[in-house]
C-alpha cells in the first residue's frame, strides 16, 4: 500500500498530515498528487468525501513551498481555487490552513454575501493562496485588489456544479485573467458534456483521474425503498422518524419549496430541524450547518445543489424524500452515509411518477434496492402518476433554468 512518503511530500506537510490522522493517501490523492507535482494539467472526476481537497491542496502547498521567494511582505497570489459555493470555499480554506500550518504559506477565502472590506484588508497584506467564489473574485479584481498575473496553479473545484449554477462565463473570464503559463486542475463530481467541453477549451493535454464512487458508496450503505403515494410521503416520513430512523440524518428534496414545507411540518411535530437551500443567506446557512454539526439539530433538509460539497460526517441515515431524476445524484446522496467503513442507511420514497428513476438508478448501481412493503401507506402497484396541479417546483422539474430565470437569479435549489 502506498504511503504519503511515497508521494514525496515534504516534512512540514507530512507532519500536518500525520496530525490530521491520515494513515495513507486516498485513491484520488495517490493518482492526482504526482501529476500536480509534475506541473501537469489534471481533469479529475471525484466527489466530495474522496479526499479530493487534499489531492490538490497538498501538492500545491509543496510546489509553493519549494519555490518560495523570501519576502513576507508583498506576497503575490500564486494559487487560486475557484469554488461554486461559500460553504465549500470555507472548507477548502480550512484544509489549506490545516495542511500549511508548518510552513509560512498563507491563504485566505473570499466569497459574496459577506462584507467586502475585511476581505480587501487581508488581500492587501499579501497571501500565497486564494480561495474564492466566482462573483466576489471578479468584483475584487475589478476593484484592483486582486492580481492574477502571478497565478501558477488554478483549481476549478466542483466544475459541474459551477456550470449548473450558471458560472460558465465567470469561470472562463477568471481563466483568462490568470497568467497564461499556469497549470489548471479541474475537479468535478460528474463529467457531463459541458464540463468536458470547458476542459477541452482551457486545459493543456490534461492527465485524467477517475475515482468512481458508484460501487463502493452503494455497497456500504443498506438501502431501502418505500413505494408510497406522493401525498402520503410526509406521513411516511413522520412514521419512520417515530419508529425506525434514529440519529443524524440528511433529508433530500428536489426543490426549495419542498425543503421549506417539510421543515415546517417536522418542526410542528417537535423535531429539531435545520435546512439548507440556495435562497438562504450566507449567515443562515453557516448557522444551520454549525447547529447541525454541534448536535443542536439532528435533521438537516436540503436540496442537492445546496448540499453538494458540504462535508458532513457521521450521518446515520439519508432519506430520499424525492427520488432524483439523475441516477448519479442518488449515488452521491447515499454516499454521505456509511462513510469510512461505517455502515449507513438510506430510505427512498418513491411515488408512482418516480418509478422510472428507480429503474435507471438500479441500472447504475447494478443492484436491486430492497423494497420495504411493511408500512402504513403502501402505493397501489397499478397507481398512475398524479397530475401536478400546484405551482411550485414542477415547472422547473428538469432542473434547467430558463434564460429569464437565470437573469433574475431566481433559484429553485
Minimum gap (Å) between residue 404 Cβ and ligand AMP: 35
Nearest residue (CB) to ligand AMP, 44 versus 240: 44
> What are 371's strand-pairing partners?
225
Q: In the complex with ligand AMP, which residue's Cβ is closer, 29 or 351?
A: 29
CB of 366 to ligand AMP, least distance (A): 24
H/E segment holding residue 62: helix 52-66
Nearer of residues 54 and 225 to ligand AMP, judged by Cβ: 54
Q: Is the dihedral of CA 298, 301, 304, 305 positive or negative?
A: negative
- Distances 343 to 67, 219, 248, 270, 317 between C-alpha atoms, Å: 44, 10, 13, 27, 9
Question: What residues contact 145, with CB distance under 8 A and at least 6 apart?
Answer: 120, 123, 124
CA pair distance 162, 85, nearest whole angstrom = 8
Nearest approach, Cβ of 23 to ligand AMP (angstroms)? Answer: 6
For residue 210, give the H/E element and its range.
strand 207-210
- In the bound state with ligand AMP, the residue whose beta carbon lies nearer, of 18 and 356, is 18
Compute the least distance from the CB of residue 47 to ligand AMP, in Å.
Answer: 7
DSSP result, 111-123: -TTS-HHHHHHHH
Q: Both ends of the chain: CA-CA distance in Å?
A: 41
CB of 61 vs ligand AMP, minimal distance in Å: 14
The residue (of 237 and 312) whose beta carbon lies closer to ligand AMP is 312
Q: Which is nearer to ligand AMP, 51 or 278 (CB)?
A: 51
Residue 279 forms beta bridges with which residues? Answer: none
Q: Which is nearer to ligand AMP, 338 or 393 (CB)?
A: 338
CB of 88 to ligand AMP, least distance (A): 9
> In sequence order, what are the residues at sequence separation of 6 or more whose Cβ sits closer than 8 angstroms to the Cβ of residue 16?
98, 99, 100, 101, 102
Beta bridge partners of 108: 130
The DSSP H or E segment spanning 139 is helix 134-142
Closest to ligand AMP by CB, 54 vs 199, is 54
- Name the grid cell of 29: 490523492
Query: How many CA atoms lie within 13 Å of 298's alpha carbon, on the beta-carbon side?
Result: 9
* CA 310 – CA 346 distance, rounded (Å): 18
d(CA 118, CA 101): 22
- Per CB under 6 A, residues contacting ligand AMP are 22, 25-26, 29, 48-54, 311
Residue whose CB is less far from ligand AMP, 14 or 138: 14
**Shortest reach from residue 31's CB to ligand AMP, in Å:** 13
- Distance of closest approach, residue 311 Cβ to ligand AMP, in angstroms: 5
371 φ/ψ sector (left φ>0, alpha ψ -120 to 50, else beta): beta
For the record, the C-alpha cell of 285 comes out as: 446557512
Q: What's the length of the chain? A: 413
Nearest approach, Cβ of 17 to ligand AMP (angstroms)? Answer: 7
Amino acid at each position: 500500500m502506498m504511503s504519503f512518503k511515497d508521494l514525496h511530500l515534504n516534512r512540514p506537510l507530512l507532519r500536518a498530515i500525520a496530525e490530521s490522522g491520515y494513515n495513507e493517501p486516498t485513491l484520488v490523492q495517490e493518482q492526482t498528487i504526482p501529476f500536480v507535482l509534475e506541473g501537469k494539467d489534471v481533469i479529475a472526476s471525484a466527489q466530495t468525501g474522496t479526499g479530493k481537497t487534499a489531492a490538490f491542496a497538498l501538492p500545491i502547498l509543496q510546489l509553493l513551498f519549494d519555490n518560495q521567494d523570501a519576502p513576507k511582505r508583498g506576497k503575490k497570489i500564486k494559487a487560486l481555487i475557484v469554488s461554486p459555493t461559500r460553504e465549500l470555499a470555507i472548507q477548502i480554506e480550512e484544509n489549506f490552513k490545516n495542511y500549511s500550518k508548518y510552513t509560512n504559506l498563507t491563504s485566505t477565502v473570499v466569497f459574496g454575501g459577506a462584507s467586502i472590506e475585511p476581505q480587501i484588508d487581508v488581500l492587501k497584506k499579501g497571501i500565497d493562496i486564494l480561495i474564492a467564489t466566482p462573483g466576489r473574485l471578479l468584483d475584487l479584481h475589478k476593484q484592483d485588489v486582486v492580481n492574477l498575473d502571478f497565478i501558477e496553479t488554478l483549481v476549478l473545484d466542483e466544475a459541474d456544479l459551477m456550470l449548473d449554477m450558471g458560472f460558465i462565463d465567470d469561470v472562463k473570464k477568471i481563466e483568462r485573467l490568470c497568467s497564461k503559463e499556469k497549470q489548471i486542475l479541474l475537479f468535478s463530481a460528474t463529467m457531463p458534456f459541458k464540463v468536458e467541453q470547458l476542459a477541452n477549451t482551457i486545459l493543456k493535454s490534461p492527465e485524467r483521474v477517475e475515482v468512481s464512487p458508484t460501487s463502493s458508496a452503494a455497497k456500504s450503505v443498506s438501502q431501502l425503498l418505500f413505494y408510497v403515494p406522493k401525498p402520503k410521503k410526509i406521513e411516511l416520513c413522520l412514521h419512520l422518524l417515530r419508529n425506525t430512523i434514529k440519529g443524524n440524518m440528511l433529508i433530500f428534496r428536489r426543490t426549495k419549496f419542498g425543503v421549506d414545507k417539510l421543515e415546517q411540518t417536522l418542526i410542528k411535530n417537535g423535531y429539531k430541524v435545520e435546512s439548507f437551500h440556495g435562497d438562504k443567506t450566507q449567515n443562515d446557512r453557516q448557522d444551520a450547518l454549525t447547529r447541525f454539526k454541534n448536535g443542536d439539530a439532528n435533521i438537516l433538509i436540503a436540496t442537492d445543489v445546496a448540499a453538494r460539497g458540504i462535508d458532513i460526517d457521521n450521518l446515520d441515515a439519508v432519506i430520499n424524500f424525492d427520488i432524483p431524476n439523475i441516477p448519479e445524484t442518488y449515488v452521491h446522496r447515499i454516499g454521505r452515509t456509511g462513510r469510512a467503513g461505517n455502515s449507513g442507511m438510506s430510505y427512498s420514497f418513491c411515488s408512482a411518477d418516480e418509478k422510472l428513476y428507480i429503474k435507471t438508478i438500479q441500472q447504475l448501481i447494478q443492484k436491486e434496492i430492497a423494497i420495504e412493503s411493511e408500512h402504513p401507506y403502501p402505493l397501489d402497484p397499478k397507481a398512475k402518476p398524479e397530475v401536478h396541479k400546484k405551482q411550485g417546483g414542477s415547472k422547473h422539474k428538469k432542473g434547467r433554468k430558463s434564460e429569464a430565470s437565470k437573469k433574475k437569479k431566481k433559484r429553485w435549489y
